[in-house]
Amino acid sequence: MKRKVEVFKAGCPLCEDTVALVQSLACPSCEVTVYDLRAGYATNVCRERAKEFGVTSVPTVVIGGRILDCCMRTGVSAGALRAAGIGQAL
């Protein structure tokens, strides 16, 4: 059985660096799949897979069905933006 490694990217330099790092560290026991969220797939598999894991930002690495702690982010929210002053007069 192979270790399932999934990388979610959107084409930015940080994403590409992460993909390269994962691929350079992967061993024969690793099965690496890279999902480009910009790509328009007929089945939309990459976006559905990202939704299953709760991916909110990229790059994100999932190993064995779990998002790595270093990739956990809550994503942008209206509350966080307001707390930072967005929408408030100076």
CATH number at residue 44: 3.40.30.10
Domain-located, residue 90: no
> What is the predicted pLDDT for the residue at 83?
87
Domain-located, residue 38: yes
- Are 15 and 58 in contact by the 8 Å Cβ rule? The answer is yes
Tokens 């408030």 sit on residue:
88
Note the pTM of the prediction, 2 decimals: 0.85
Domain-located, residue 89: no
Q: Who contacts 35 (Cβ-Cβ below 8 Å, separation ≥6)? A: 6, 7, 8, 9, 45, 46, 49, 50
> What is the predicted pLDDT for the residue at 40?
63
Number of domains comprising the chain = 1
Assign 41 a pLDDT band (cuts: 50, 70, 90). Answer: low
Domain with 37 in it: 3-83
> What is the predicted pLDDT for the residue at 67?
93
